[in-house]
Amino acid sequence: MRIGIVCPYSFDVPGGVQFHVRDLAEHLIGQGHHVSVLAPADHDTALPGYLESVGRTVPVRYNGSVARLSFGPVTAARVGRWVDRGEFDVVHLHEPVTPSISLLALWAAEGPIVATFHTSNIRSRAMQAAYPLLRPSLEKIAGRIAVSEDARRTVTTHVGGDAVVIPNGVNVDRFATAVPRPQWQGAEGAPTLAFLGRIDEPRKGLQVLAAAMPGVLEAYPGARLLVVGPGDAEAARARMVPEVLKATEFLGAVSDADKASLLASVDLYVAPHTGGESFGIVLVEAMSAGAPVVASDLPAFLRVLDGGRAGATFRSEDTTALTHEVVRLVGDPAARAALAEEGRRRARQFDWSVVAEEVMAVYETVTHGAGGVRADTSGDTRWTRMLRGLSRPSDD
Residue 12: which pLDDT band, with cuts at 50, 70 and 90?
confident
Is residue 126 very low, low, confident or very high in pLDDT (cuts 50, 70, 90)? low
More confident residue, 382 or 202: 202
Note the pLDDT tens digit of each residue in 201-238: 899 999 999 999 999 999 999 999 999 999 999 999 99
C-alpha separations of 183 from 186, 264, 266 in Å:
8, 12, 10
Q: How many CB atoms lie within 10 A of CB 362?
A: 21
Per-residue pLDDT averaged across 26-44, rounded?
93
Angle at 93 (CA atoms; ends 90, 97), nearest 5 degrees: 140
Query: Quick count: other Cβ atoms within 10 Å of Cβ 126?
Result: 14
What CA–CA distances, in Å, run from 60 to 64, 65, 100, 251, 274? 10, 8, 11, 26, 21
127, pLDDT greater than 60? no
Give the per-residue pLDDT at 393: 42
Instruction: Quick: pLDDT tens for 324-356.
Output: 999 999 999 999 999 999 999 999 999 999 999
Higher pLDDT, 311 or 382: 311
* pLDDT score of 197 more than 60: yes
**Residue 45 pLDDT more than 80?**
no
pLDDT of amino acid 65: 63
Give percent of the chain with pLDDT exceeding 70: 87
Look at residue 380 in the predicted model and tell me its pLDDT. 46
Domain 2-169+351-390 fold: Rossmann fold (3.40.50)
What is the predicted pLDDT for the residue at 63?
A: 55
Length of the chain measured in residues: 396
Per-residue pLDDT band for 99 (boundaries 50, 70, 90) equals: confident
378 pLDDT higher than 90: no
Q: Phi and psi for 56 in degrees, rounded to 5?
A: -70, 165
pLDDT(374) > 50: no
352 and 94 in contact (C-beta within 8 Å)?
no
Rounded to an integer, the average pLDDT of 285-313 is 96
pLDDT digits (tens, 9 = 90+) for 273-298: 998 888 889 999 999 999 999 999 99
Confidence of residue 386 (pLDDT cuts 50, 70, 90): very low
Q: With 80 as the cut, is the pLDDT of residue 124 above it?
A: no
**pLDDT tens-digit profile of 253-276?**
999 999 999 999 999 999 999 988
- In the chain, residues under CATH classification 3.40.50.2000 are 2-169+351-390, 172-350
CATH superfamily of 172-350: Glycogen Phosphorylase B; (3.40.50.2000)
More confidently predicted of 164 and 59: 164
Residue whose C-alpha is closest to residue 162's, from 138, 178, 185, 126? 138
Residues 6+ apart with CB under 8 A from 368: none
Instruction: Name the pLDDT band for 73 (thresholds 50, 70, 90).
Output: confident
Q: 331, 287, 295: which is closest to 190 by C-alpha?
A: 331
